[in-house]
A = this chain, B = another copy of it.
């Protein structure tokens, strides 16, 4: 018999079979009917219950495993995972795009620009093991509707991105420029709240020591450092938000 999901409910949107199974199972799990550690029916049983092939069941279960809702072990079976931690996904947009998306005008100003041999601090910031070469150090401020939006300190490793030395960043800020030029494979983010130091307070036109949200980002390309950025947002003008659901990362699957 060929692919005929004629089993369908009367009308509207005949949800694919594997998504139907996936949804049913994730409902059992997130509703708490099946508690952590309890056993999920094995594939052949679900196959019988849903009257479909094992591959279809497998697709559903693999997706649940990938989303972290269940754990699968050969011969033992599949089990509901214990929710030890919540997971939140933050999308970090390019600053220029972010400002534009909010319908505000964008512009930026480079306060300082320097090419130097990396000192110990620079190497630590870049997450760099090798020595030698040079780095490009930039300080800039991004404006939204004319008011300071975020202060940026950036280091670019010229061993990895030599063409940055000749770039004057008149067309695009270094963040966007890099994003469109260099592929990254690893990134590390640190988020903290800090009081604005004098230099930053002045650049952002806020009071000294007022609360700021600081995002530090390190980026690598296959183990080789690319860039380091320290973004400082006035605390009362910026927040990171993230909506998340259903069930630890399944949303992407359910939406596809």
Contacts and interface: CB of A to CB of B under 8 A. Distances in A.
A244 B193 CA distance: 21
Given A179-B83, A211-B211, A66 B253 contact: yes
Which of A83, A89, A189: most chain B CB closer than 10 A? A189
A189 B91 contact: no
A240 interface: yes
A29 B222 CA distance: 13
A195 B234 CA distance: 11
Contact of A85 (B94, B185, B191, B222): B94
A88 interface: yes
A51 to B, nearest CB: 21
Given A183-B32, A184-B30, A195-B211, A90 B88 contact: yes
Contact of A84 (B87, B90, B93, B209): B93
Given A189-B244, A191-B191, A87 B89 contact: yes
Query: In which size bucket is the chain A interface?
Result: 35 or more
A246 interface: yes
A104 interface: no
Nearest to A91: B85
A141 to B, nearest CB: 18
A213 B190 CA distance: 12
Nearest to A256: B66
B244 A186 contact: yes
A239 to B, nearest CB: 4
A92 B242 CA distance: 13
Contact of A246 (B185, B212, B235): B185
Interface string A72-115: 00000000000111111111111001000000000000000000
A114 to B, nearest CB: 26
Given A84-B93, A183-B31, A188-B241, A235 B252 contact: no
Which of A88, A193, A256: most chain B CB closer than 10 A? A193
Contacts of A145: none
A243 interface: yes
Given A86-B91, A220-B245, 4 more contacts: A89-B90, A187-B245, A189-B241, A193-B214
Interface of A: 29-32, 65-66, 83-94, 97, 179, 182-195, 209-214, 220-222, 233, 235-236, 238-247, 252-253, 256
12 contacts: A30-B184, A66-B253, A66-B256, A85-B97, A86-B187, A87-B91, A87-B92, A89-B90, A191-B213, A194-B235, A194-B236, A209-B211
